[in-house]
Structure 1
Amino acid sequence: MKRVAVYCGSATPADPVYIESARAIGRSLAGQGIGLVYGGGKLGLMGAVADSALEAGGEVIGVIPQALVNAEVAHRGLTELHVVETMHERKARFTELSDGFLTIPGGTGTMDELWEAMSWAQLGYHAKPVGLLNVAGFYDGLLEFVGKMSEVGFLRPQHQNILLADDDLDRLLDKMRRFEPTVPIIRMTRDEL
């Protein structure tokens, strides 16, 4: 993996574990020679992961909609800053520029990005690993819900391993490097659906 898209929040929660983990992720990616593609903001976890990657000498590419540039939340000190018109363009650019997706804690925007990355992998629009770093148990409920989708039958057996999760970044990156894409929906027969 040469570049990873990191999905995360633009907020700074009161518990310092979240901001510290974002900083550690930025440093670790840079230290491993993995470029960071992210939402292009300077606030919250977004800003922390970008700043720490830059400080460690890493490549940092931001992708941000014009409306957020106008709101003055764009990070101006990046390796590259791509300004797009819509959130749809932003997510498509994340997919074009990265070799995988890493989700760390965030809110509704982060969830939107994660679910789209998973959905596109399931459908066959990309064959890239989708990782979820479960910082301080933040995603325990989400992982339980993904298990419920599988148990009930809304997540096909072929797609139950699309989401790679761990609470340790190095283990998660190793899982992402070893990821083998499954048969996407667009290549399944009617009987398999």
Structure 2
Amino acid sequence: MIKRMAVFCGARKGNQEKYIKQADALGKYMADHDIELVYGGGQFGLMGALADAVLDNGGEVHGVITESLAERGVANPRVKDMRTVAGMNLRKEKMMEKADGMLALPGGVGTLEEISQCTSWMTIGENPKPVAFYNLDGFYDHLRELFVEMNKDGFLEQRFLDAICFSENFDEILSFMNNYKTPEYRKYRN
């Protein structure tokens, strides 16, 4: 059962109102379903909107921010449980450790890098937790197509492709996460 969800998303708002609206909607959804937010600790962009929406609706938020970002004033002052770590690799590790599942909202290269690591680690057995992409208006369609191409060309096994969720429905994402079965791993031989 998902009690804490790590959400990776843009530190910018994007250029369309729909992104902020969906961050707000997810924050309310998480609070209404008693799912605590684990996120990168920022006060700006979708990150800030999401954290504020969770807090505004009575939910709990856990921030993990790097020392350099905290020193630059990025940390959300409303988040009481804020952990400061040395660097980005440790931040991702701590977020994955704290959460029961990982979700990517729309974002930039940082968001892509973070959720890609969660996905990559799932394929090698280092992340036994579910990974999902909130695919607002097809935002992640090209990435899904790339994963399908990786599978078709023999670089991504079907069992791992099947273990990744792309959806723009919060209920569907939560159902996927709550019913997630970690892919089986087998020993490799030359």
Q: Which residue of 1 aligns with 2:97?
A: 96
Q: Distance in 2 between matches of 1:133 and 1:55?
A: 22
Cα displacement (A) at 1:79: 3.5
Q: Which residue of 2 aligns with 1:188?
A: 187
Whether the 8 Å contact between 1:101 and 1:128 is mirrored in structure 2 is yes
Q: Which residue of 2 aligns with 1:66?
A: 67
Superposed, 1:102-117 pairs within 5 Å as: 102-117=103-118
Q: Distance in 1 between matches of 2:103 and 2:36?
A: 12
Q: Which residue of 2 aligns with 1:159?
A: 160
The letter of the residue matching 1:16 is E
> Which runs of no fewer than 5 residues in structure 2 stay unpaired?
none
Superposed, 1:6-155 pairs within 5 Å as: 6-155=7-156
**For residues 25-84 of structure 1, what are the alpha-carbon distances to aligned partners after superposition, in whole Å with 9 as ceiling and x for unaligned?**
011001100000001000000000000000011010010001001111110111300100
Cα displacement (A) at 1:173: 1.0
Cα displacement (A) at 1:146: 0.9
Q: CA RMSD in A?
A: 1.1
Q: Distance in 2 between matches of 1:145 and 1:85?
A: 33
Look up the SS of the partner of 1:46 in the other structure: helix
**For residues 4-43 of structure 1, what are the alpha-carbon distances to aligned partners after superposition, in whole Å with 9 as ceiling and x for unaligned?**
0000000011210001000100110011000000010000
Whether the 8 Å contact between 1:59 and 1:79 is mirrored in structure 2 is no
Look up the SS of the partner of 1:150 in the other structure: helix
**For residues 122-171 of structure 1, what are the alpha-carbon distances to aligned partners after superposition, in whole Å with 9 as ceiling and x for unaligned?**
11112100011101211111111111111111001231222111111111
The letter of the residue matching 2:81 is E
Look up the SS of the partner of 1:153 in the other structure: coil
> Which runs of no fewer than 5 residues in structure 1 stay unpaired?
none
Q: Distance in 2 between matches of 1:138 and 1:183?
A: 29
TM-score normalised to the size of structure 2? Answer: 0.96
Whether the 8 Å contact between 1:36 and 1:60 is mirrored in structure 2 is yes
Cα displacement (A) at 1:189: 3.2
Q: Distance in 2 between matches of 1:168 and 1:188?
A: 36
Whether the 8 Å contact between 1:122 and 1:162 is mirrored in structure 2 is no
The letter of the residue matching 1:189 is Y
Look up the SS of the partner of 2:145 in the other structure: helix
